[in-house]
Amino acid sequence: MASELDTLPVITTRRDEAQGFLQGLVSKSLGWARKYSLFQYPFVTACCGMEYMTVAAARYDLDRFGAALPRFSPRQADLLIVVGTVNCKQAPILRRVYEQIADPKWVVAFGVCASSGGFYDNYATVQGIDRIVPVDVYIPGCPPRPEQVLDGIMLLQRKIQGQEHKLIDRKPLPVVGQEPTSR
């Protein structure tokens, strides 16, 4: 159903229009580029890792979705895949790894333990990694089938395409020795 807003005329200046169009174009292109070059950091802690290997290997082939290369340094990655149970002792490590990934970054909770703690509802286990880091896509299953994982990756790609991307996505850093300018 069309809302009232859809029929209202929107008044923009030419400058706004031009910027909006260009920014939209840049955002779409960057989204397209980013969703097909997911460099992942697999945070593998448990048995789901076997399923992750299957997904990454030739039969299911994560490479088809542009997510081929697992980087074993979070500084080179932009997709954190948390595979398996995370316990309270590991939570600071997970947060540190997440903080080391440069923006833009996304997080996938792989399997039911990472998503919600699974059946480990006890003193030792974090009840879902979203208590530690923000999560973009949850993949349920114990362990999830490779098809489910591919579905999750495609969901993430759709999400990335829909997000807003900018060429320069940060405030300029203050020059050392000068007062930071207020912007």
In the shown chain, the binding pattern of residues 8 to 47 toward another protein, with x for contact by CB under 8 A and - for none, equals ----------------------------------------
d(CA 127, CA 115): 8
d(CA 102, CA 74): 8
Q: Which is nearer to another protein, 132 or 156 (CB)?
A: 132
CB of 90 to another protein, least distance (A): 9
In the shown chain, the binding pattern of residues 119 to 148 toward another protein, with x for contact by CB under 8 A and - for none, equals --xxxxxxxx-xxxxx--------------
Give, as ranges, the residues between 50 and 89 that touch another protein (CB under 8 A).
88-89
CB of 41 to another protein, least distance (A): 19
Q: Is 105 left (phi over 0), alpha (psi -120 to 50) or beta?
A: beta
Question: Of these, 95, 99, 162, 180, which contacts another protein (CB under 8 A)?
Answer: 95
Q: Which is nearer to another protein, 87 or 148 (CB)?
A: 87
Other CB atoms closer than 10 Å to residue 81's CB: what's the count? Answer: 31
d(CA 19, CA 80): 33
Query: Which tokens is 116 given?
Result: 């919600």
Q: Which is nearer to another protein, 125 or 157 (CB)?
A: 125
Q: Which is nearer to another protein, 108 or 126 (CB)?
A: 126
Query: Which tokens is 142 given?
Result: 């114990």
Q: Please, are residues 129 and 76 in contact by the beta-carbon 8 Å criterion?
A: no
DSSP H/E element including 21: helix 14-35
Q: How many CA within 13 A on the CB side of residue 74?
A: 20
91 binding another protein? (CB under 8 A): yes
116 binding another protein? (CB under 8 A): yes
Which residues make up the interface to another protein (CB under 8 A)? Answer: 88-89, 91-92, 95, 116, 121-128, 130-134
